Amino acid sequence: MTTTAPAPTAETLATARRGTHWIDDWRPEDEEFWENGGKQVARRNLLWSIFAEHLGFSVWLIWSVSSAFLVAQGFEFSPQQLFVLVALPNLVGSLLRLPYTFAVPRFGGRNWTMVSAALLLIPTLLFAYVVQQPGTPYWVFCVIAATAGFGGGNFASSMANINFFFPAAKKGAALGLNAAGGNLGVSLIQLLLPVMVGGAGIFGLVKASEGGIDLQHAAYVYAGLAVVATVAAALWMDNLTSAVSKPREQLQVVKNKQTWVMAFLYIGTFGSFIGYSAAMPLLIKLNFWRQPVPGVEGIGINFVYYAFLGALVGSVTRPLGGWLADKYGGAKVTLAAFGGMVVGTLGILFTLSRLQTLPPAPTAERLAAIKADPASFEFPPAVRAAVESNSDVFPWFLAIFLVVFACTGIGNGSTYKMIPAIFRTEAERATTPNTAERTVAVHDATKRSSAAIGVIGAVGAIGGFLIPIAFSSPWVDDPLSATKGAFTVFTCFYVVCAAVTYGVYLRRTTSATSYATAGI
């Protein structure tokens, strides 16, 4: 005779563990299990996962805004060199996402969160040291900027871990919240770093420091938060025994063509979000702002007041994308997001066509003379006229760019809903309903989708490297021309992404493997 185990409670869940923080019995698809303790455990792990991932994103993008202050601190780097410093953390972060994903089933989600948070001490403390050494060569800056990629790897392990905690019907919202909390780290570092280092105030509420810029202050703050995240994960997160699998098993997802289709689409959504977020401070500074040295009153649009808005919009719309995907289907929402990105980038190209090319920055000798007597410096009439003309266009540039950011956020949320749905659909099609075989297949599908999240996240994040590199374009004479060429390429790419989304997941065919009828 078959007997039914009693429903667990929060108390019994706490005892069903191997060691102090291992949970052996985890059945989120069991509604009674979920309502009697499972939900509370999942939400607690989600909360601290969001905090650790948020911190990782902040460290990952610390160079996106600090690079705009390096010249003011006496480092003589060209715009192309600055864009490379912005891009390098994104490259390393994308490469680390795959091993970080595999680390979750190997070591446990809670354990790896502790390790990944502690690793953030390396880029923060190195950053704090090097920005206080004006004689540091450029290649050293490149190496240290690359270590900020540790923060980018956090996303993949965090998402893979949370994927195990929630039932299929709630994965879209849970993964959207987890990712949005992390993505907000980009916006907050871009808003708060200028204040922490004394580079600027917040809309007049806080004044810029009169003693100059101290970039190391921001690094020390985030190093301290890394310690907090490590301790919090140790105290309040859990490992799931059911999430354990071997790397060889996880790597099977690379043989599934849907992994690569989704990775391609994720370049368009998340790659755009992180790439635009990283490049936006420099884009605004190079095209709308002029201040040769501290002490000279700048003219135009100061990037510190606006650069954070793009990442903020993209972050808060990500859970909206997950919610819409839960309601209407991830593929439909993803297609709409790419449509919005096509329209948005065309709008940005129009605003760029209205800008005047700003004269190049003063030479090193001229900068030295201005620093010696900043009070006597006056902007040439041609520079002032060009900056004022571009400032009139800036509201349109910013508004349309924020629409693009909103579409990237929605697309991020919807694509991450699609990943577990695709693998679950494949499992259900290969098995009979209400059988033990189906139960095992669905559980294995969750493992494979978590592994796929790592692969897809790694490939998608490469867009965060390619976008700043496209803006740097050393073969183009001026930053404005490089920016126009980059957005032309991006628009064409989004058209291709929209076509792939429709052709693979929405176009109805007679094939038994068609995804159009699965509501993915």
pLDDT in tens, 362-376: 777 777 787 778 878
With a cut of 90, say whether residue 322 has pLDDT above it: no
The architecture (CATH level 2) of 16-362+380-518 comes to Up-down Bundle (1.20)
Amino acid present at 194: P
Rounded to whole angstroms, how far apart are CA atoms 141 and 159? 30
Give me the pLDDT at residue 387, please: 92
Which pLDDT band, with edges at 50, 70 and 90, does 377 fall under? confident
Give me the pLDDT at residue 138, please: 92
- Total length of the chain: 520
Residue 66: which of 191, 194, 188 has the closest Cα? Answer: 194
Rounded to whole angstroms, how far apart are CA atoms 30 and 520? 22
Residue 245: which of 422, 109, 438 has the closest Cα? Answer: 109
With a cut of 80, say whether residue 351 has pLDDT above it: yes
Tens digit of each residue's pLDDT (9 = 90 or more) over 397-435? 999 999 999 999 999 989 988 988 888 888 888 887 878
- Residue range 311-331: mean pLDDT, rounded: 89
With a cut of 70, say whether residue 9 has pLDDT above it: no
| Residue 239, SS3 per DSSP | strand
Q: What φ, ψ does residue 356 adopt, rounded to 5°?
A: -100, 140
Q: Decide if 16 contacts 23 (C-beta within 8 A).
A: yes
Higher pLDDT, 1 or 252: 252
Higher pLDDT, 3 or 65: 65
With a cut of 90, say whether residue 183 has pLDDT above it: no
Give me the pLDDT at residue 204, please: 44
Which pLDDT band, with edges at 50, 70 and 90, does 199 fall under? low
Give me the pLDDT at residue 78, please: 81
Residue 473: which of 138, 85, 84 has the closest Cα? Answer: 84
With a cut of 70, say whether residue 140 has pLDDT above it: yes
Structure tokens at 23: 């949970």
- Residue range 325-333: mean pLDDT, rounded: 90
With a cut of 80, say whether residue 51 has pLDDT above it: yes
Higher pLDDT, 120 or 15: 120
- Residue range 225-254: mean pLDDT, rounded: 85
Which pLDDT band, with edges at 50, 70 and 90, does 517 fall under? low
Q: How would DSSP label each residue in 232-243?
A: HHHHH--EEGGG
Higher pLDDT, 195 or 466: 466
Percentage of residues in the chain with pLDDT exceeding 70?
89
Give me the pLDDT at residue 232, please: 96
Q: Decide if 420 contacts 449 (C-beta within 8 A).
A: yes
Rounded to whole angstroms, how far apart are CA atoms 358 and 383? 7
Beta bridge pairs of residue 22 = 239
Give the dihedral sign, CA 64/65/66/69.
positive
Tens digit of each residue's pLDDT (9 = 90 or more) over 482-501? 889 999 999 999 999 999 99
Mean pLDDT value across the chain: 85
Residue 262: which of 386, 426, 39, 487 has the closest Cα? Answer: 426
Give me the pLDDT at residue 69, please: 80
- Residue range 264-292: mean pLDDT, rounded: 90
Question: Within 10 A of 357 (CB to CB), how many other CB atoms are there?
Answer: 13
- Residue 434, Ramachandran bin (φ over 0: left; ψ between -120 and 50: alpha; else beta): left
Structure tokens at 398: 């910013």
Pure H helices in 17-78: 31-33, 39-60, 62-70
Give me the pLDDT at residue 437, please: 85
Which pLDDT band, with edges at 50, 70 and 90, does 341 fall under? very high
Amino acid present at 128: A
Amino acid present at 283: L
Question: Within 10 A of 316 (CB to CB), how many other CB atoms are there?
Answer: 16
